[in-house]
Structure 1
Amino acid sequence: MAIWGLADKTLQSRYFLPLFKTAFPNGLIYELEKAGHYSLEDAPEIIGLLIRQFL
């Protein structure tokens, strides 16, 4: 499982997300529109929920 902050200015999703999807074609990827590079700080409730559901 990967959680990607689409507002990330360091690992910009338009460049890196397609590479990640190619490397892990069957991977579960969540894209958070308002989260950035520090996604855990930007969206802790959502990420906590996603991790609990995954486990």
Structure 2
Amino acid sequence: MTRGAHGHEKVGEEILRVLCPNCRNRVTIESGEDEVKCPHCGNKVKRPKKK
């Protein structure tokens, strides 16, 4: 994850945080990724569908 000058994310990059349905751990999905493996339980977490 890219950090800005004060430790916050840089503006302009899409970074989405989604809760894992199995262990409720917060998983970070960056732009261009559709699914990510949860580092805690190993479950695949998918990007939510746009409404």
TM > 0.5 fold call: no
Higher strand residue share = 2
TM-score by length of 1: 0.27
Report the structure number with the largest CA radius of gyration: 2
Higher helix residue share = 1
Instruction: Point out which structure has higher relative CO (alpha carbons under 8 A, 6+ apart).
Output: 1
